[in-house]
Structure 1
Amino acid sequence: MPKTANWNYPTSVRFGAGRIAELPELCRALGILRPLLVTDRGLAEVPMTRQVLAALRDAKLGVALFSDLKPNPVEANLQAGLAAYRAGQHDGVIAFGGGSGLDMGKLIAFMSGQTRPVWDFEDIGDCWTRADPAGIAPVIAVPTTAGTGSEVGRAGVLTDEHSHTKRIIFHPQMMPKAVISDPQLTVGMPAKITAGTGMDAFAHCLEAYCAPGFHPLADGIAVEGMRLVAGALERAVKTPDDLDARADMLAAAAMGATAFQKGLGGMHALSHPVGALYDTHHGMTNAVFMPYVLQFNRPAIEERIARLAAYLGLGKPGFAGFLDFVLELREAIGVPHSLADLGVDGSQAELIARLAVSDPSAGGNPLPLDEQATRAIFEAAYVGRL
C-alpha cells in the first residue's frame, strides 16, 4: 500500500509520492504569491527543479530561483539570498533540497525582516528573543534528501568563516509553516548521498536517544526512527527506485530532527568543525565518527543501547550487538571506516578538539566532553581504532 498521510506534528506535513503537485495550491493557502525558491547549485538545473518552477509559474505565482550556496553555506550566501528576496519583493520562501537548501531557505525567511546581524540569534541562551517575530516570512519546506530533517526544524546552520565554526541560528518561528515530503523527489539521489544523508538521520535519532535528561516523547520517536533506517537505508542505497524505502527514510529524517530537540552529542560536536575545516559531507562525517563516539560513551549508555538492540531485533544482543550492527551497516553502504579514509588529515586535531568542546552539541553528550576526550575520539576515528 502506498505510504501517504497528512500530519500536523511537528508542523503541517503532506506526506506521500506525487504530492509535490500540491505546491502551488499550498503557496496560495499560506498567502505566498511571490515565493523565492531556495536550493543549492547542484539542484538548480535538474529537471525536477525546472518542473517545479514551471508548475508555480503556470499557477501565476511570481516565483524566482536562488541557488548561490556552498555545500556548507556561509554568511555571504545568506546576504546574497536576502538581496534576491528583497529585489524580487518576495513574500515567502520555498526551501527546496537537502540540508543546505532547507537551512538557507529558512535563514533567508527569518532574516528578511530583521535589523540585527544574524550571529545575534545564535542558539545560546535566549538570544532568539532579540528577533522581531513580525519580520519572519513564511516557509514551505520541500526535502529532496532524507537526512537532516531540517524541514521540521526550528534552526538553520551557518558556517562562520572567521572562526571556522558551524553556528546554529534558532527561533521557534523558523519552523516551516508546511512541508511537502514526497519520496519521489529523493529517487534521483546518488548512492553516496543517500548513504550519507541516511546516516545523518540515524545519527540524529541515536544521539537524541542517548542524550541525558527526561524526554520520553523524543526517545520514542528516536527508537522508531532508527528502526525505519535499519530496515530501509541499505535498500534505498542499492535499489534507488524503492519508494517504500525512500518513504521510510524521509519519515526517519523528520523523526530525527524532531527527536533531537532533546539534544545531540559528540558525533555532531566533532563533525561540525571537521565539516567547517574540510568541507566534508555532514552526514557522512557523523557516520565515520559514530562507532568511536559510541565506544567512548559506552559506560553511560550500555543499558540504554541494550534496550535499543532488543527493539531493533538484532541477532546479537546488547551494546556489542548494536556496535556490530552499526559497523556492518556502514560497510554495506560505503561509509569510510576512518577520517583518513574520508580525506581528513590529522594536522588540525588540536583545533578540532577545542572547537568540538565549545560546539552546542557537546552539552548533550552522555559523558562530559573536554579537550582530552575530544582529542582521543578524533585520534581513534582518524586511524580507525575501536
Structure 2
Amino acid sequence: MLDIHSTYTYNFPTKIRFGVGVINELGPYLKENNIFRPLIVTDAIISELPFFSKVISDLERQGISPSVFNEMHKNPVKSDVLKGKKNYQNSICDGVIGIGGGVAMDVARAIALSINHHRDLFDYDDLIGGDKYVTEEIPHFITIPTTAGTGSEVGRSAIISDDITKQKKILFSPSLLAKIVFADPTLTLDLPAFVTAATGMDAITHNIEAYLSRGFNPMCDGIALQGLKLLAQSIVQATKEPDLFSRSKMLIGSLMGAVAFQKGLGMVHSMAHPLSSLLDMHHGLANAICLPIGMEYNYVGFEGKFNVMAYTMGLGGNQGKNLVDSVMVLNEQLGLPQNLSQVGVKEEHIPELARLAKQDFCLPCNPKEVTEEDFVQLYKKALSYD
C-alpha cells in the first residue's frame, strides 16, 4: 500500500528514490559523489518555475555550481544536443542532470552520450547497430521527472530527430541508464491540466502497447498491467483535482510503463512520432488521439488481451470489446481533442505522415502488420474520428 508520508528506495531498473521531499536529497547526493559543477538540462518552461529556482538556490547554498541548459525544441533535434554538449564543455561540467519530461530527459541523455563519444550523433542510432560504438565512459547521469508520462527517467535511450529530414533516431545503450532517479510527486503538482492529461495518456499508451507488443516477456506484461491499473485509477483525479496520492500513482504508473516498453511498442507510437517531428504536435497528445485508432486496428485476434486490459482498467470481465470506446470517453473526460482535424492536421499531410510511420522504429513490435496504405487510411480515419 502506497503511503505518501513515506519515502522509498528500490532498484529496478536503476536506483530510484521515490516520495514527497526526495528532491531535497539531490545536493547531498552530488557532494557524496564529488559532483560540484553539474549541467542541469531542462526546458524553458520548467526553468522558470518556482521549484526549479529553489533547486538551484539549494544547490548553490551547498557549495555546488550548476549550469543550466534549456535551449531545446518541443520535439528535440540533433542541434539541441550539440548546443548542450558545447555548454557542458565550456562550463567544465562534471555530471548531467535531466529535470523535466521526456524532451528534457532525451536531450540530457543524448548530451551525456556525446561528451566522450565524438562520432556523428546519429552513428549511435540503435536501428543501424550504433550501440556498438558506445564504448567510452558516460558522465554521472541523474534524472528527476516532473511529468508522469514518458517514464524516460528510467530509460536507456534518447529519441532525437534529424533537423532536416525530421526522421526520429533512437540512441540506445544500457550505459545510458541514470545512476539514480529522484521521483518526487510534489514536482508534478503544479502541472497544467492539459500537460497532466496528455503526458498521462502517453503513459497509458506505453503500458497498453507494451502489453500488446510482439514477443515473449511475461515480466514486462505484468508490469504493464499494474502500471495501467494505477494510471486508470488516478489520471482523471490528477488532471481535474490533483492531490499527492493521485500524482504519486501517476508517477509510479509512468515509471512502470517505461520499464514495460523495453519489450516494445507499436503502431500508435509509429503514428504519433511523425505528428510530432513533422507537425510539432505534443507527443502525449498525438498518442492520445491515435490510441483508439491503433487499438481498434489491433483488436481482432487479440480479444483475450483486450479482455485482460479492460478488467485491469475496471470495466469488468469480458469487456475488451468496449475498451476502445472507454479510451475515447477517457480522452473526453480529460478535455483532450478527439481527432486530428481538431489540432490542425490536414489531408495533405497524410502521405508524408504515412511514409514516416511505416519507417518508424516502433512498428516491428506491433502485433499486426501495417502497410503504408494502411497508415494512409488510419490517418484519414483519425482526421474525423469521434
Task: Specify which of 141, 161, 166 is matched with residue 139 of structure 1.
Answer: 141
SS of the equivalent of 1:329 reads helix
Matched, 1:52 2:49: no
Work out the CA distance in 2 between the residues paired with 1:373 and 1:174.
35
Give 1:181's aligned residue: 183
Note the alpha carbon deviations across 1:116-156, whole angstroms, 9 max, x for none. 0110011215310112232x111110000110000000011
SS of the equivalent of 1:168 reads strand
Give 2:32's aligned residue: 29
- Give 1:210-225 correspondences, 5 Å limit: 210-225=212-227
Cα distance, 1:277–1:146 mapped onto 2, change above 3 Å: same
Q: Which runs of 5+ in 2 are unaligned?
A: none
Work out the CA distance in 2 between the residues paired with 1:109 and 1:213.
31
- Aligned AA for 1:96? I
Superposition RMSD on alpha carbons, in Å? 1.2
Note the alpha carbon deviations across 1:44-90, whole angstroms, 9 max, x for none. 12111110011111111121111111111111111110011001111
Cα distance, 1:82–1:182 mapped onto 2, change above 3 Å: same
Give 1:129's aligned residue: 132
Note the alpha carbon deviations across 1:160-200, whole angstroms, 9 max, x for none. 12212222111111111000000000011000000000000
Calculate the TM-score normalised by the size of structure 2.
0.97
Q: Is the 8 A contact 2:303 2:321 kept in 1?
A: no
SS of the equivalent of 1:141 reads strand
Q: Is the 8 A contact 1:37 1:93 kept in 2?
A: yes
Note the alpha carbon deviations across 1:227-270, whole angstroms, 9 max, x for none. 00110000000012x10000001111111110000000011001
Work out the CA distance in 2 between the residues paired with 1:372 and 1:362.
14
Work out the CA distance in 1 between the residues paired with 2:33 and 2:132.
25
Work out the CA distance in 2 between the residues paired with 1:206 and 1:237.
20
SS of the equivalent of 2:362 reads helix
SS of the equivalent of 1:158 reads strand
Give 2:41's aligned residue: 38
- Give 1:29-108 correspondences, 5 Å limit: 29-108=32-111
Give 1:201's aligned residue: 203
Work out the CA distance in 2 between the residues paired with 1:32 and 1:218.
34
Calculate the TM-score normalised by the size of structure 1.
0.97
Q: What's the offset of the Cα at 1:316?
A: 6.9
Q: Is the 8 A contact 1:316 1:322 kept in 2?
A: no
Task: Specify which of 114, 118, 141 is matched with residue 117 of structure 2.
Answer: 114
Work out the CA distance in 1 between the residues paired with 2:347 and 2:266.
22
Q: Is the 8 A contact 1:133 1:173 kept in 2?
A: no
Cα distance, 1:125–1:215 mapped onto 2, change above 3 Å: farther
Work out the CA distance in 1 between the residues paired with 2:34 and 2:340.
47
Give 1:381's aligned residue: 382
Q: Is the 8 A contact 1:41 1:68 kept in 2?
A: yes
Q: What's the offset of the Cα at 1:315?
A: 4.4
Work out the CA distance in 2 between the residues paired with 1:163 and 1:300.
36
- Aligned AA for 1:208? A
Q: Which runs of 5+ in 1 are unaligned?
A: none
